[in-house]
Structure 1
Amino acid sequence: MSDPTGTWADYEISCDPDRLDPARIHHWLSTDAYWALGRSREQQDRAIAGSLSFGAYERASGRLVGYARVVTDHATFAWLCDVYVDRDVRGRGLGTALAAAVRDRLAPLGLRRVLLATDDAHGVYGKAGFAPITDPEKLMVLKTG
């Protein structure tokens, strides 16, 4: 995938869980992400521990500036969630870069589908190859909280 802004070279995306900053991730999501407002730190830490996580880091400083999480069985299905880019670096294509990194990391697994849900970032994910579901009537949800 090409870098239309010429700025991705300033960032690195890694799946190394030891590089993550769980406190920063929790702060972002619990205070600024409509889908995770009020999420507890303990709940967020469990989510990170049970998922494949992607961090986007500034090369110069090593600072975490973006995050994405994938829930998957590594065989048939994955759910991309908790995609967040620090407000200070938005508009540089990092959301699309994270989605593309997820796509590329999962591609060798031969998953049947990778799903996500978004209220407002369809264009970001579309650039990485995601498309609207053609048969949403097949999907169901069990609301528990």
Structure 2
Amino acid sequence: MHITTDKTALDVALIHDFLSTTSPWAQGIPLETVQRSIEHSLCFGGFIDGRQIAFARVVTDRATFAYLMDVFVLPDYRGRGYSRSLIESVQNHPELQNIRRFLLVSSSARGLYEKFGFRSPVKPEAFMEIHRPDIYR
């Protein structure tokens, strides 16, 4: 799999389709919202034979904080190590070195992320959020 951070290479229609119809976390997300999120994030696209099959994006200040989100591999390509390659590319990106706090939220792939050093928060009581799970409906 070839992985790039070139946003012009991304298949935004494919990303939007997956997020809005298949992902459990962004059901119904508008195309304009996906476009804006890509514009303001460090994005990683995974490609096989010129076709995008994977995606991840990182919201970051590129100095102290990063939040990994919208990670997916298309269902037909799962179980082949592509998600591992994608996360390795994220962690090895030069602008994400020495990040003090690198967060993610995952309910289904914890085992994968734990292999890369992600753990439950040391002080979960210190984390707060405003969560609007039905905002796109």
1:7 matched to which residue of 2? Answer: none
Give the Cα–Cα distance (whole angstroms) in 1 for the partners of residues 97 and 81 of structure 2.
Answer: 25
Partner of 2:93, secondary structure, is helix
CA shift at 1:132, angstroms? Answer: 2.0
1:102 matched to which residue of 2? Answer: 90
- The runs of 5 or more residues in structure 1 that have no matched partner are 1-10
1:128 matched to which residue of 2? Answer: 116
Query: Which of 95, 98, 104 is the equivalent residue of 1:116?
Result: 104
- Cα RMSD of the aligned pairs, angstroms, is 1.5
1:65 matched to which residue of 2? Answer: 53
1:5 matched to which residue of 2? Answer: none
Give the Cα–Cα distance (whole angstroms) in 2 for the partners of residues 68 and 143 of structure 1.
Answer: 21
Give the Cα–Cα distance (whole angstroms) in 1 for the partners of residues 96 and 60 of structure 2.
Answer: 13
* Counterpart contact for 1:96–1:127, Cα < 8 Å: no
Q: TM-score when scaled to structure 1?
A: 0.86
1:88 matched to which residue of 2? Answer: 76
Provide the identity percentage: 42
CA shift at 1:106, angstroms? Answer: 5.1
Give the Cα–Cα distance (whole angstroms) in 1 for the partners of residues 11 and 122 of structure 2.
Answer: 37
Query: Which of 75, 78, 103 is the equivalent residue of 2:66?
Result: 78
Q: TM-score when scaled to structure 2?
A: 0.91
Give the Cα–Cα distance (whole angstroms) in 2 for the partners of residues 108 and 32 of structure 1.
Answer: 28
2:40 matched to which residue of 1? Answer: 50
